[in-house]
Structure 1
Amino acid sequence: MIRVLVTLGAVVWAVQASAVTCEKLTHDDKRYTVCEVDAETEDLRLFLNDENGDLLGHFSSVNEALAPGGERLAFAMNAGMYHDDRSPVGHYVENGKEVMRVISNPGPGNFGLLPNGVFCIREGRADVYETLDFLDQAPDCRYASQSGPMLVINGELHPRFLPDSTSLYVRNGVGTSADGTRVVFAISEDYVTFHEFGRLFRDVLETPNALFFDGNISRMYDRANNRSDVGFSLGPIVGVVEDAS
């Protein structure tokens, strides 16, 4: 089913899928694809390695790993920064097992542009936490991926984002509602600044907290719309899993 929405001057064409809704959206003359997940009802997971410990790295590899169990991806995107060997730069938890500890100190690159944050998936909800808040609250995440910088923090843009920035990349990230039931993933289809990307989550998607996943290497998988971006191997991948039958 296709529906048309108009929000803040943006025209949105939405295609309704079984497990996730993905939309094309234009805001301030920049194009995005936005996918919304109901964390209460959908099976949202993180993926890094297969059962043998080998890197998955691609959406197709995740689907191959899911196939023996009669499952497949409905949606996926890269979900955090990684080293050259594709190991996570920051905190990473998969199916309750911690792979990498929380990194709370400043550092180089976008990850170290504090405040950064943690995307945490629990039973029936998912939340974006600022890293120090995550350490204070110590939520029991079944899956978690740390990345940075934060895009939106309690309804405010990251304090170091500049309206006149010239740093333009394809970028992707995630935002969550206050009650943790609404999870919104976005990838830009044009080159955007951090300020533009943060305003998308704050002003259009209306998520009080949002986290930057990565830029330049950003890729997305959307089964309903036959999209599967390809390229070199990724590190952490977030996906919605559905029954393949």
Structure 2
Amino acid sequence: MTARRRLLGLLLVPLLALLAPVSSGHAEASCSTEEHEGRSYDVCRFDPATQPLELFNLNDNGEPIGTFSALAAKLAGDGKRLTFAMNAGMFDDKLHPIGLYVERGQTLKKLNRRNGFGNFHLKPNGVFFIEDGKAAVMDSESFAKSGVKPDFATQSGPMLVINGKIHPKFSPTGTSAKVRNGVGVTPSGEVVFALSETAVTFHQFASFFRDGLGTPNALFLDGTISSLYSTDLRRNDGFLPLGPMVGVYEEK
């Protein structure tokens, strides 16, 4: 962990204690730090069939939630305890998603298949979705043909791993490195989120998902702004306002 993130985590311990009171139920730790090829990653694993894994963007007034602390407070008002959250897809200057976004079965933004510049348009891009307690990552063109009607979905790009192969435009000798976060799903259906502790290239990050985490399909969520909330790791990043977020909670 970088010195900046370590210091921020220490400063936020009291806040996490306030936002995440002790639950009456027992929950196993879902987040930990893992190593791969000499690099550290914070990794969080969930079973969508038994754990409430949902997407969030707007509050009850139709305004962007924006921060993990605001999301935790919103859920606390509903008698829920936020245990994990991560930024979950690219967004515009109003913090609205630029690609497909589905929340509780309602499509709030349609699938974006346009060409353009930037990471989102580095085709193939893809969709992370949950349908009837099962999660998957699928490239956008396959998703468009699938007929899936997800309960939750977010589109981002590029894909990191496609059917066991690293994105064809990632070079092993690439030099562009950033802190990055992404999501993959294992063959058993476990959802795995990862955030690099240091700057990594796209190829290094994709290799971690394929070879380190064993996810045959994985999706890049973002870089530079990559942020994590984890009660396991006592972490509550608040670097910049965020658009779509993915979160896991417990009933108090």
Q: How far is the alpha carbon of 1:20 from its aligned partner?
A: 5.2
Alignment of 1:169-208 (within 5 A): 169-179=178-188, 181-208=189-216
For residues 77 and 243 of structure 1, the distance between their equivalents in structure 2, rounded to whole angstroms, comes to 19
Name the counterpart of 1:238.
246
- 1:176–1:182: 8 Å Cα contact kept in structure 2? yes
Corresponding residue SS for 2:31: strand
Name the counterpart of 2:66.
57
Corresponding residue SS for 2:211: helix
Name the counterpart of 1:81.
90
Instruction: Give the TM-score taking structure 1 as reference length.
Output: 0.90
Name the counterpart of 2:235.
227
Name the counterpart of 2:100.
91
Runs of 4+ in 1 over 3 A off after TM superposition: none
For residues 128 and 158 of structure 1, the distance between their equivalents in structure 2, rounded to whole angstroms, comes to 14
For residues 74 and 179 of structure 2, the distance between their equivalents in structure 1, rounded to whole angstroms, comes to 28
Q: How far is the alpha carbon of 1:81 from its aligned partner?
A: 0.3
Residue of structure 2 aligned with 1:24, choices 30, 33, 52: 33
Q: How far is the alpha carbon of 1:30 from its aligned partner?
A: 1.3
For residues 69 and 48 of structure 1, the distance between their equivalents in structure 2, rounded to whole angstroms, comes to 16
RMSD (Å) for aligned C-alpha atoms: 1.2
**Alpha-carbon distance change, 72 to 203 in structure 1, aligned in 2, over 3 angstroms:** same
Name the counterpart of 1:137.
146
Q: How many residues align?
A: 227
Name the counterpart of 2:45.
36
% identical aligned pairs: 47
- 1:20–1:75: 8 Å Cα contact kept in structure 2? no
- 1:121–1:142: 8 Å Cα contact kept in structure 2? yes
For residues 127 and 199 of structure 1, the distance between their equivalents in structure 2, rounded to whole angstroms, comes to 19
Q: How far is the alpha carbon of 1:111 from its aligned partner?
A: 0.2
- The answer on 1:151 being equivalent to 2:160 is yes
Name the counterpart of 2:175.
166
For residues 240 and 154 of structure 1, the distance between their equivalents in structure 2, rounded to whole angstroms, comes to 27
For residues 187 and 214 of structure 2, the distance between their equivalents in structure 1, rounded to whole angstroms, comes to 10
- 1:44–1:241: 8 Å Cα contact kept in structure 2? yes
Name the counterpart of 1:210.
218
Query: Could you say which structure has the higher helix fraction?
Result: 2
Q: How far is the alpha carbon of 1:34 from its aligned partner?
A: 0.6
Q: How far is the alpha carbon of 1:51 from its aligned partner?
A: 1.0
Instruction: Give the TM-score taking structure 2 as reference length.
Output: 0.87
Query: Could you say which structure has the higher strand fraction?
Result: 1
* Residue ranges of structure 2 left out of the alignment (5+ in a row): 1-25
Alignment deviations for residues 26-84 of structure 1 (CA, whole Å, 9 cap, x no partner)? 11111111111011110000000011101101011111111122102111100000011
For residues 216 and 144 of structure 2, the distance between their equivalents in structure 1, rounded to whole angstroms, comes to 19
For residues 201 and 185 of structure 2, the distance between their equivalents in structure 1, rounded to whole angstroms, comes to 21
* Residue ranges of structure 1 left out of the alignment (5+ in a row): 1-16
